[in-house]
Amino acid sequence: MLHIHSLPPELLAHVFSFLHEPVPQLFPFPLPETFHDWKVVTHVCRSWRTTALSTPSLWPRIHIPKISDEAALNTIPLTGNLPLVVYYTADLSNLPSGASDTVEDEALRGIQRNLRRLREFHAFCSSSEKFSPWKYLDEPAPLLESLTIISNDEDDLETLAVLPPLFGGETISLRKLVMANVSIWPYRNFHNLRHLALYDQIDEERLPLHTFFDTLSQSLQLETLILVSAGFEDEMILDGGELTQPLSLPSLRYLELGEWSFEMAPLMFLENVILPPDLTICLWNIGWEANIRNLICPRLENRSLLERCTKINVTSFLCGDSACEADSLVGVKDSTLYYYGEAVPPGFSTMRSLGAFVNVTELNYCPDFRWSKHGDVLDEDLLLLLPALKILRVSRVICGHLELLCRLLVQFEPDTKRTRPLSRGSVRASEQPSKHLRFRIAPLLEELHITNPYDHPDFFEPFKLYTLDDLRPLIFLANVRANNGVKLKKLVIQGCSEEVVEATKLKSMKCDKSQRKEAPSDNIEVVGLDLFFEKVEFMGRRYNFMPYWEDSIVEIWPREKLAKPPHPDCW
């Protein structure tokens, strides 16, 4: 400590600044606790306290957790003239029962006197008849870059959440706007945004589509647009004003449309915008409207939604399970088409009208076999749509019928060369035999994964461990594929007996490659699985949600983070 006390104040303040760094954020907006509580250094000794209190760069983040918070009010003078970042999370339900209309927030009044220094303002609160925090945000804020308004008001037709014009309508530097539970907002006052996220607005009070497009046209440099049950009117979308021409958003990098009540709403939106080719689209819905047909209607103009799709997930769990908040969820995210529900979607068969998905190289297939009519057998129609498939992940539920799966993957295409009549002068097929037959399903398959996505008391069944004899169909599959020029590079399997694991490990240690190539392929007691696959991984039992199924719906949208902002009450 003696050496630390001898440090110059400038160097000591620099050391303190490392404790001030924000922690990683999980949500699309800052939270009041996303910066470390570094103020403990002011209680160590007089030297540290003096240094900290005289360094303005350590104090620009101000958290106001309650009305007229004294600590927040005392922090403002310590910031010097630096830009301010303010978090307002006062619980207005704690107002005194006898409070009158004269309730004032002295901490917010202190911020009001410094609005010209305000760089970020994040409010997680509600207004009331006795008090409104918005009245303090009445002067221009020329430095404001980020604004978050998460209202805790009961936003319905009887008590609409209304956000009045803020900062005198002058926010020339504002680039990021996030709002939730606010149906009526001063949309004409926001220009040149780079990030716009709106959540949970009453449909009857949302903007007509043409008016919403006019709002977006004031921010043509928009890079992120998130609309979750918000933005433009949903059910009456076709009754809005006429759109004269499509809206171009050339800078958009991420677009999310979620939780709509009218199935044509996202399609109507997408048909009237011009989007860049490298855009990531997140399109999803939950509940009774979550139908795969809503995304892939057999119409030519909708094909562009899935042209860049590279992965397909079919993930089904029980309704009411801890991993799910709705009956079903369907969407496209990060070039992944997925379905999340309690049954394998029959709508996948309608994809045949759109043709094959030539870019899809990965399929995750995990239905709940107890509720799905097709859950115990992999959908052959779906596999036929994926000619470029290289990675197939199936749950161990399906592989209760391992032989059926292997039969699908060893089907050959008809040999048209031998049935086609020969023209004069042509060479007979027998004189020019093809080197290998082409597989009808997944001809480019490289990896096969057979695992349980997670272990849950309501889902997990005490499966019988695989023995060497149980894996005969799998070895037959690998052998046929290898003999026809498509050797499987990787097998990941869960639930094997010790006999299978030890046989593979022992042969790997005792036999070199040349010896193992001469081993008889029909005697699985002699050889291990690694003879037939370039790489074999054995998975043990996993608990809860593990990152192995990193592209499953559970991992994309965990519970309580389903593309929605957290509730203010939890702070």
Low-confidence ranges of the chain (pLDDT < 50): 157, 239-240, 298-299, 318-326, 369-375, 418-434, 455-460, 510, 512-527, 543-571
217: number of CA atoms within 13 Å, CB side? Answer: 12
| pLDDT for 553 | 46
List, for residues 307-359, the tens digit of each pLDDT value: 777 888 776 654 444 444 445 666 777 677 777 665 555 556 666 666 788 88
| pLDDT for 417 | 54
Who contacts 519 (Cβ-Cβ below 8 Å, separation ≥6)? 511, 526, 527, 531
Nearest to 16 by CA among 36, 1, 33, 2: 36
List, for residues 54-77, the tens digit of each pLDDT value: 677 777 888 888 888 888 888 888
| pLDDT for 464 | 73
Nearest to 486 by CA among 498, 497, 478: 478
| pLDDT for 291 | 62
| pLDDT for 375 | 46
Q: Is the backbone of residue 192 left (phi > 0), alpha (psi -120 to 50) or beta?
A: left
516 Cα distance to chain centroid: 44
DSSP state for residue 548 in the 8-state scheme: G
Task: Measure the CA angle with vertex 537, ends 534 and 542; round to 5°.
Answer: 160
| pLDDT for 288 | 53
| pLDDT for 383 | 85
- Cβ(42)–Cβ(135) below 8 Å: no
How distant, in Å, are the alpha carbons of 91, 301, 364, 377, 550 from that of 360? 49, 20, 11, 21, 17
324 Cα distance to chain centroid: 14
User: What is the chain's Cα-based Rg?
Assistant: 30
DSSP string, 291-325: -GGGTS-S-GGGGGGGTT--EEEEEE--TT-TT-S
Q: Is the backbone of residue 275 left (phi > 0), alpha (psi -120 to 50) or beta?
A: beta
| pLDDT for 279 | 80
| pLDDT for 20 | 63
| pLDDT for 351 | 64
| pLDDT for 45 | 77
CA dist., res. 200 & res. 182, Å (int): 7
Task: Specify the pTM.
Answer: 0.70
In 171-306, which ranges are E strands?
176-180, 195-199, 224-228, 247-248, 254-258, 273-274, 280-286
Nearest to 312 by CA among 294, 273, 339, 287: 339
DSSP string, 357-407: -TT--EEEEE--TTT-SSTTS--HHHHHT-TT--EEEEETTGGGGHHHHHH
CA dist., res. 346 & res. 292, Å (int): 8
- The domain ranges of the chain are 403-412+439-550
Nearest to 147 by CA among 200, 190, 90: 190
